Structure 1
């Protein structure tokens, strides 16, 4: 799929491209289960001149944290003031959302490996999506990615 927004391939992962610039985006990929009710996955972000990757993001199987956050954004078609945000328990992946007139949601994805270590680094990109259909597709794709059993 080459259109902006969320692309879902249940095996490969989920890719989100910025509607304003398709060379800016993020990908959830490399999902694997390591037992005990949680899964690991990789998260990549890219923009012209920038590529960053977290290799082992941890999520509980069926974790509704990120999915619930995205679903709430998708249903809030009237928009909101200020910024809303979500982060992993390890604080190595954060997403913050802003609403702009015209019905668009800006998602700023930030990776911060080893957030408690000295000399760490972070990288961010912002993807702009349509508030309705593209946000709904993104939330559904992330739900499938995090909850599906991959063999």
Structure 2
């Protein structure tokens, strides 16, 4: 089972790939852990690209570790996970949103949002490499 932790020891987004076969994962488990909050959703891969766009999203931040303007956003196929990234005060700030929709009458599901801070040097480089391994399965 391949896992990637994005954030600190206490506050993090953990992505876990299914390990049923070799190659890219068919789904990812996204778990958000913050002080007093724990939420998780299962993400289905895009049939054509898998999770390659997630790796590209983090690679952009690694390439631009000195900073960028505005907010960059990645969203899963079914919109269960959204990551908004900005560069503020010399750090990479991630706003992570997990949500689960329920088609039941009168029940819209739930949403959990939290902020994570990443150091733009070694920590970000490690995350970029780990996510590449996660989404390729090797």
Aligned to 2:131: 142
Aligned to 2:43: 57
Alignment of 1:39-58 (within 5 A): 39-54=26-41, 56-58=42-44
Q: Which runs of 5+ in 2 are unaligned?
A: none
Aligned to 2:3: 13
Provide the TM-score with structure 1 as the length reference: 0.76
Instruction: Name the SS for the 1:51 alignment partner.
Output: strand
Aligned to 2:66: 78
Deviations 1:73-132 (A, max 9, x none): 11113312221111011111010101112x210111110112877522110121111113
Supply the RMSD in Å over aligned alpha carbons: 2.5
Q: When the two structures are aligned, how many residues end up with a matched partner?
A: 133
Structure 2 CA distance for aligned equivalents of residues 27 and 139 of structure 1: 14
Q: Which runs of 5+ in 1 are unaligned?
A: 1-10
Structure 1 runs of 4+ aligned residues shifted over 4 Å read 115-118
Provide the TM-score with structure 2 as the length reference: 0.82
Deviation at residue 59 of structure 1 after TM alignment: 2.1
